[in-house]
Amino acid sequence: EYKLPIKDEL
C-alpha cells in the first residue's frame, strides 16, 4: 500500500 511521505519538514 502506498503511503504519503510524512510532512514533518517546513
Partner 1 sequence: MNFFRLTADLMHLLSIFVLLLKIQKTRSCSGISFKTQLLYAVVFVTRYLDLLKWISLYNTLMKIFFIASSIYILYLMKIKFRATYDPSQDTFRIEFLLGACLLLALVFNYTFTFIEVLWTFSIYLEAVAILPQLFMLSRTGEAETITTHYLFALGAYRGLYLLNWIWRFYTEHHIDWIVWVAGAIQTALYSDFFYIYYKKVLHGQKFELP
Residues in contact with partner 1 by the rule CB under 8 A: 4-10
In the bound complex, what is the minimum distance in angstroms from residue 8's beta carbon to partner 1? Answer: 5
Euclidean distance between CA atoms 10 and 2, whole angstroms: 22
- In sequence order, what DSSP letters do the residues of 1-10 get, joined into one string? ---PPP----
CB of 3 to partner 1, least distance (A): 10
Closest distance of CB 1 from partner 1, Å:
13
